[in-house]
Every structure is written in C-alpha cells, then in structure tokens.
Structure 1
Amino acid sequence: MDLQLTQQQTLKLAMTQELRQAITMLQFNAQELTEFLYEQTLENPLVEIETPHTDWNQIKTTKIQNENTKQGIDLYSRKAISLQDDLLSQLQEMKLDKSEHRIVKYLILNLDKNGFLIGADDELASELSVTQEDLNNGLQLLQSFEPDGIGARTVQECLIIQLKRLSKPTQVAEMIIEDYFDLFVNKNWKEMAKKLKVSLPELQSEIDLILTLQPRPGLNYEQDEVNYVAPDLYVERIGDEFVVSLNDKILPRLKLLNDYEDYMAKGNKSEVSSYLKEKNQQVGWLMKSLEERKSTMIEVMNFIVNKQRTFFEKGSAHLRTLTLREAAEELDIHESTVSRTCKNKFVQTPFGLFEMKNFFSQGVVTGNDEDISSTSVQVFIRELVNKENKEKPLSDQKIVELLGEEHGIEISRRTVAKYRDILRIPSSSKRKRFG
C-alpha cells in the first residue's frame, strides 16, 4: 500500500457560537425572546435590561382568526382551579358524618379528567371497606355536586343525570338517551321519531335540549393555564399602502453597562480584564443578532404583504397560494430561515391576528388557471354551509358545483370531504334539521 501526502482545498461553513445564537433568536417569539434576554443578564454582568413600562390594560384585545382557533390577546397567564379542588371545596361545605365524608372524598379522588368515576362498584366498596349501599349513597351525594353530571360512569349516564336535574319535565329526552342512545349518536332521526311516535320537529326540539348539556363536565377544568399572546408584528393600512412594523413595546431593551469601560481601556491583561472584554464582545454579538432578527422579520413580512395584498385588502377568502421556497428565492435567504422567522410569530392585520405561517399555503387551481390557497377554499366551504338551508343541507357534490359556479374553483368531492373534516363540519345527513 502506497502512502502519499496530498493537499486538497475544500469550502465548508463552520457553525460558530455567534451564528448558532442568531439562528436561535430568530425563531423565538416575543415572549420566548424576553425570557432568553433575561437569562443573558444572569450570565453576563455587562448586560442590563430596560423593561418596557406598558399598561396592558389599555391595549385593545382581539382574536386569533384561523379556522380552528379563537382566543383573546393579552400578556399574562392565570391558573384555573382543578376539578378535584372544586369538588373537595363543595364537600367541606356539606354537613356529613365522618364515614360519608370519607367515601365521597375517595370517590372525588377517583374521577378522571372528564369527571367520570373510575373503578367498578365492588372494587371501590372493597377498597373503602364499606357496603354496596353505603357506596351508592356516597355516589348519589357526589352526583348532586356541581357541575351537573359529575361522578357518572359514561356519557350516557352523565346526560341522564343532567336531564333529571332540569326544572322542566324531559321525559322524551330521557327516553332518547336511555333507550335510543345509538340512534342519537348516529343522528338517525327518522327511525328515532318513528320509535318514539313523535313528529320530526318535536324530536328536533328534544335533541336541541340535549345538545345544551355537557357530556364531559370535567373538561371545563382541564385547561389549567390560559396562555395569551401579543402580536410580534403589525400590518397597518396607511392610505393605499400597507406598512409593516415590529412590536417593540413588548420587548425589553438591552443596555451595555459603562461601569467597566475605564478598567478595560487601561489595557490591563489580568484575568478580570480578559473576562470583561469577552463579555463585552458577547453583548455586541447579542445586539447584532437582535438587529438581524428585526430586519429579517420585517423583510419576510413585507414579502408576504406584497404577495398576499388581496388578503390584506379583502380578508381570508382571498389568501393565495404561497410557499416558503418562493420567499427564500426572492429574498435570497435559505428556506429554513424563512421557516424560523415565521415560527410562533403572530401578526396583527386589519382582519385580526394571524400566525405568520398561515400566509404560506399550498393551492388548488381555479377554472381560470389561477392558484388559490387551500385556506381560501375552506373559507368558501364554511360560508356555503353557514348559508345553506338546514332542512336541506348541501351535499359534498353540491358544494363542488357551487364552488365552481361562484368562485371558478375545480376540486373533487373527496377534497371537499377532506376540507370539511378539517373544519369539523359534519356530513349533510348529520347537519339536517327538521321544522
């Protein structure tokens, strides 16, 4: 085997600590960036944070406008009381003997997140060392607590408990749940009306009553924490132009402490001086990364505004197809940079609050050979369903025809069904109402 010494020139990108920091900061939203900057103050004595004095009570609240989410906007979180804590609090207010109190408390602690009781009766009675009668008495006490339906075993039992606690008689509604629950779940209204010997309009009235009930009463307590967000960017219309701006009000400002400047200027070569110079350099990198983050976000948002101008003029139904690759090619940056820029960022627009990533969407072809985003198609489908005659709801095929007639959109019935599932719109047979 011959051994040779050769030279070879290669070109490669080294991921420096500064580059890694800039990439990390780019994908942070406002809240995450704030937390990151405060962490830097703990590691670097030369960094000082100026907290913005913003009165959030005076900020106008809005809603996140997308197909599945509607949420208020603010910058704080609150802790909600748990289901068990609420029930135990009610238990403390009741005058029960020691045995009853012990049984009910044990049952409360055996509820799942839906508010349903876990465990068979004989197992619970054995664990508590009580009779079946004592267990049933304890369970009846628990089921008298708020919210209505708590302590049930199944959705069916939960609804029955709630119906029995209503002030007006609900005999037909109780029969629907007790005797024809499968027909109710499958929305087989005609067969159910025939078995109950009632008209379809009368049945519809009873079903409307049942639909006001809560099939999983414990879920009201499941959201332990309500998280709120503020927009990272604003898009405002000024005359005929749309202006993009960064929401600086919610970000703390970095400040370089000058207390150590004289010490570093003396050219001292001690370990302390070297340490301070290193930290001073880190502050410079940090400030540079912040500026790059700001300019990149505004640059990408300006691109979106230019490409999606009809959306900013007319609303969600006019969102056009747009890809990350298009943005990357036009802005001469990497596709991953566009993705990181849009990650978890929110934009306040004339039509509400949107995630930046929502402006990028795959499209379908209209009859005019123009691309329109799948989001816009879903908006049109929802509009058609909202306007339909509920006694004669639109079939998927009819929606296909109306999309073609009204918007020049050519898609298959299967695509309509897929978008309907995404929007959580039931099939026409399950949307049908009577009377």
Structure 2
Amino acid sequence: MNVNHAAVLQQNLNLTITPKLIQSMHILQLSSADLVSYLHEQSSENPLLEVSWTENKSRRSKVKQAANNGNTAFVELTANEPDTLEMVLISQLRLTGLNNRSYNIAKFLAGSLNESGLLDISLEEAAYCLQVEVSEVAEALEALQALEPAGVAARTLQECLLIQLQRAEKADRLAEVLVSNHIHELGAGKWKHLAQILNVSLEQVKQSLAFIRTLNPRPGLAYRHERQVDLKPDATIQKKNDEYVIMLHEDGMPKVSLNTQVQKLCAESDCKETGDYARKRIQTATWLIQSLDQRRQTLYRVIEAITEEQQLFLDKGLSYLKPMNLKTIADRLELHQSTISRAIQNKVVQTPHGMFELKFFFATGLITADGEAASAERIKCRIRELVDAENKSKPLSDQLLTDTLTREGLQISRRTVMKYREEMQILSSRLRGAESVN
C-alpha cells in the first residue's frame, strides 16, 4: 500500500471578540459624566493607569475628597444618574452563568438597544461588528431576551409582544396565534374576519385583543431618563469667518496616562508574577488610552459630518432641519451604522440655535410635492406657527391643518398631523376653543 504525503495549505478565518473592541465600543457611547466615572473605576482597578486633573479644580477637589473618604463618598459622587436600561441588563447578565465570549456579545447587544428597548441592529450587523458567527449572536440574544423587563431586546414589535405572551402567567393561546400570524389584520381592525378564519367567536377575538393591549410594546421606556438641563455640551458648533468650526469640550475631563513610577517599580522587580501582572495592566491601560483617543476622533468626525449635512439648519433655524438617517453619516465617514449610533448616544452639542442632543439631528421626513424631503421637526414647527396664528375663537382642526400643509406642498395625513400635535402637547381644536371661551 502506497501512502502519499502531501502538504496542504488550509486557510482558517478565526473570528474573535477582543476585550479592546468591547472597551472601545463601550467608551464611545458613554456620556461625559459617565466617562469620568468609568475612568475612576478603571484607575482604582489598575495601578498602572494614572488619572489626573489639569483643570476644573472644584471637580478635582470633590474627587480627591471622595478618594480620601473611601468608597461611600465615591458612590455618593457618582450616584446622581439613575440606572439605564443597559446597566440593568448587564447587572442581570452577570448572574446568568454565560461564558465570557457570550457575555461580551450579550453586553454589546444590550448597548445596541434603542430607547424603546428594541434591538436597533440585525444579527448580521452585530456579528460583523464583533467578528463572530451569527449563530453566536443569536444565542447571546436569546439570553438577553430572557431578562427583565419582558420583551426587551426584541427586533420587532411582533417579537416583543410574543416574548411577553410566552412568559405570561396566564397564557392566552389565541392571543399568541393572533400576534404570530395575524398582527397586521389585528392592527387594521379586521376582527370579524379573524373570527371567521380562526373559527372562534368575535367575543373571543376581542378578549384576546384586550389581553394583548395589556402588554408593553416599549419595555425600555421605564428606564428612559430626561437629561439634566444644566449639563455642559460635549461640543460647540460656531460660525467663524463664514465657516462653521467644531470645538470639543474636554476641560472637565481628566488626563489619562501610564503611571511611570509604578511601571518603573514593576520593571525593577525580580518577581516573575509581578512582571506578568505589570505587562497585563500596561496593555489594559494602553488600550484604554487608545480607546479614548478613538472616541475623540470619532465624535469629532460625526459632528463634522452632521454640520455639513445640516448647513441650512445652522444658517436659518429649526424649520430648515433636514431629514437624515444613520446611513447618511455612516456612508459619508465610511463607518458602520452601529458605530454612528453609539457615537451619538448621550451626546449634546451647542449650536447657534440652542443646545441639542446629537440624536435630534437624525430626523425622519416626509416627501413634499416637488419631490424633496421635509423633516418632522420642520413640519411640527409649521404646525406650531399655524396654531399660534389661528383665530382663537375658531381654532384649526386637524383636518384644516392637514389641508393647509397639503396646499403648501407637504404630503401628509390627518393622522400624522394629529400625532405631531399631540407630541408638541397642543390641545385639540375643540379643547383649544373651550380654553378661549374661558
């Protein structure tokens, strides 16, 4: 028997999730206040990391006092902000017994939820960002969806409701069938049709619908907290010499560097364990410093791109806000949409027309008669103008507002006008008329 030996070159793509990548993504989405707290946590855990204050003396003295008084003072210093949905989920994830790899994926997904608690990116996008298999992301998502509040981390409203139905103490089998297979007919009010095709009574359909309405379509809203109005902006967009310039505000941020004294002591030690420990801590500190620099660059580039896209708003004001989505900025910067999403989280910018969250600039839009797009904020601004100018004894109904906007070239429905009016907390025409009488 002849045995032929041959050298075979096989290429394997080994996809790994690195601690550096996780840390970089986490730092990118932190607010300035949360970043300061995070840096102090890291410095307390890593003696090779030095966090020093070069400015903002009052803040520095508070930090120093907190360090002198122990953990209690530090907790009091950093306990002003309520827990976010991401923090609540991560605290639960620590108790699930997930392996480190799955935990990191689930942690990333927890940071990718929108304010409603739904997942903003697809499994494929998450796998691409983390350089892992889609099956691994799916497994981590399943673990995340098993946490509280029920329905969190769902990808659609339908999935959100199904998760809650499947976990309900008193399961409603018909409700689960309706949501699984007939959610569109249910939303359209075709209850008699549903009763016929499912061979149940109309009353049963209505009872199941009543049960569905007890579910929470936006489980994350309970953890949505309004930002304090006295927060300093992360950046300022200012016009100088007919050109807009961007200034990042870092005066309240500490200087982060390697502690050379501790590094020298470790280097002089003959103990192998000390040397290994020092090398790991130096690597961790270096990653952190690099992540901070990357955060700064990414934030600047994102604000710069927003500035270029929203020139009319900066020049003329709110009614000229341009509809824009994450893809617009992602394509301009050649970055992934999830990176843009994280960069704009918890960030505030000062403009010539006031202070706004970066998320504000990503406005949805409607098509005008000439084929252009008008932002929702621009339409709201126009509705406000019409209501302010109306005859108070004969206020404009939603239909009249719709007709006016349509004549002005906006393709808008009465239902959308009513939605925008309610979002601006403008009373209905009937109640506005009653107010004018009183």
TM-score (norm 1): 0.57
CA 1:395–1:8 in structure 2 vs 1: closer, same or farther (change >3 Å)? farther
> Is the partner of 1:283 in helix, strand or coil?
helix
RMSD: 2.8
SS at the partner of 1:234?
strand
Q: 2:22 aligns with which of 6, 20, 23?
A: 20
Distance between the aligned counterparts of 1:426 and 1:238, measured in 2?
A: 41
What's the CA shift string for 1:306-362, capped at 9, x where partnerless? 111111111111111101112112211111110000111111111111010110012
Paired with 1:332 and 1:271, the residues of 2 have a C-alpha distance of: 43
Partner of 1:11: 13
Superposition pairs of residues 253-402 of structure 1, within 5 angstroms? 253-265=255-267, 268=270, 270-402=272-404
Alpha-carbon displacement from aligned partner over 1:363-414 (angstroms, at most 9, x marks no partner): 1011221111112111111121122221111122221233244x53221222
DSSP 3-state at the match of 1:249? coil
Structural mapping, 1:212-291, within 5 Å: 228-265=230-267, 268=270, 270-291=272-293
Q: What secondary structure is seen at the aligned counterpart in 1 of 2:437?
A: coil
Distance 1:233 1:50, change over 3 A: same
Q: Which residue of structure 2 aligns with residue 429 of structure 1?
A: 430
**Shift of residue 78, structure 1, vs aligned partner:** 8.2
Structure 2 Cα separation of the partners of residues 319 and 226 of structure 1: 24
1:94 alignment partner in structure 2:
none
User: 2:321, 2:378 within 8 Å by CA — same for their partners in 1?
Assistant: yes
Given residue 353 of structure 2, which amino acid in structure 1 is its aligned partner? F
Specify the alignment match of 1:411 in structure 2.
412
Q: Distance in 2 between matches of 1:10 and 1:420?
A: 57
Q: In 2, Cα distance between the equivalents of 1:277 and 1:227?
A: 43
- The alpha carbon displacement at 1:76 in A equals 10
Query: Contact 1:236–1:244 (CA<8 Å) still a contact in 2?
Result: yes
- Counterpart amino acid of 1:303? A
CA contact (8 A) 1:263 1:273 kept: no
Structure 1 segment 92-107 matched on structure 2, within 5 A: none
Identity among equivalent positions (%) equals 36
Q: Is the 2:47–2:262 contact (alpha carbons within 8 Å) kept by the matching residues of 1?
A: no
Q: Secondary structure at the match of 1:390?
A: coil
**Counterpart Cα distance in 1 of 2:399 and 2:272:** 80
Q: Which runs of 4+ in 1 moved over 6 A?
A: 75-79
Structure 1: how far apart are the matches of 2:228 and 2:274? 45
Whole-Å separation in 2 of the counterparts to 1:77 and 1:276: 31
Rg (Cα) greater in structure: 1
Compared CA separation, residues 422 and 10, structure 1 to 2 (3 A) = farther
Partner of 1:210: none
Paired with 1:416 and 1:282, the residues of 2 have a C-alpha distance of 52
Which letter does structure 2 place at the counterpart of 1:416?
A: V
Contact 1:76–1:227 (CA under 8 A) maintained in structure 2: no
- Which residue type is aligned with residue 368 of structure 2? T
**C-alpha distance in 1, partners of 2:323/2:14?**
35
Higher relative contact order by CA 8 Å / sep ≥ 6: 1 or 2?
Answer: 1
CA displacement, residues 180-230 of structure 1 (integer Å, 9 cap, x when unaligned) = xxxxxxxxxxxxxxxxxxxxxxxxxxxxxxxxxxxxxxxxxxx9x967422
8 Å contact 2:266–2:274 — kept in the other structure? Answer: no
The 1:301/1:434 distance shift into structure 2, 3 A limit, reads same
Kept in 1, the 8 Å contact 2:267–2:275? The answer is no
2:323–2:364 CA contact under 8 A, matched in 1: yes
Which residue of structure 1 lines up, in the alignment, with residue 46 of structure 2? 44
Superposed CA deviations along residues 63-117 of structure 1, whole A, max 9, x for unmatched, are: xxxxxxxxxxxx99989xxxxxxxxxxxxxxxxxxxxxxxxxxxxxxxxxxxxxx
State whether residues 317 and 375 of structure 1, in contact with CA within 8 Å, keep that contact through their aligned partners in structure 2.
yes
Q: Deviations over 1:264-304 (max 9, x none)?
A: 55584621122122211211111100000000011111111
Aligned to 2:231, what secondary structure does the other structure show? coil
Q: Note the 1:75-86 alignment, pairs <5 A.
A: none
Other structure's SS at 1:259 match: helix
280-289 or 391-400, larger mean C-alpha shift: 391-400
State how far apart, in whole Å, the 1-side matches of 2:357 and 2:391 are: 33
For each residue in 1:146-205, what CA deviation from the matched residue of structure 2 results, as whole angstroms up to 9, or x when unmatched?
xxxxxxxxxxxxxxxxxxxxxxxxxxxxxxxxxxxxxxxxxxxxxxxxxxxxxxxxxxxx
CA distance in structure 1 between the partners assigned to 2:390 and 2:57 by the alignment = 45
Change (3 A) 1:45 1:78: closer
Q: CA separation in 2, counterparts of 1:364 and 1:56?
A: 48
One-letter code aligned to 1:391: S
Aligned 1:32-71 pairs, distance under 5 A: 32-54=34-56
Distance 1:296 1:381 in 2: 36
2:437 aligned partner, one-letter code: F
User: Aligned pairs, how many?
Assistant: 268
Partners of 2:37 and 2:78 within 8 A in 1 = no
Deviation digits for residues 232-251 of structure 1 (CA, Å, limit 9, x no counterpart): 12111112111112110121
Counterparts of 2:410 and 2:350, CA distance in 1: 29
Q: Which has a greater percent of helix? A: 2
CA contact (8 A) 2:263 2:278 kept: no
In structure 2, the CA distance between the partners of 1:277 and 1:12, relative to structure 1 (3 Å rule), is closer
| CA distance, structure 1, for counterparts of residue 303 and residue 265 of structure 2 | 43
> Residue type matched to 1:397 in 2?
Q
Distance 1:56 1:397 in 2: 55
Instruction: Measure, in 2, the Cα distance between the counterparts of 1:386 and 1:51.
Output: 49
Q: Are 1:76 and 1:228, in contact at CA under 8 Å, matched by a contact in 2?
A: no
- SS of match in other structure, 2:349: strand
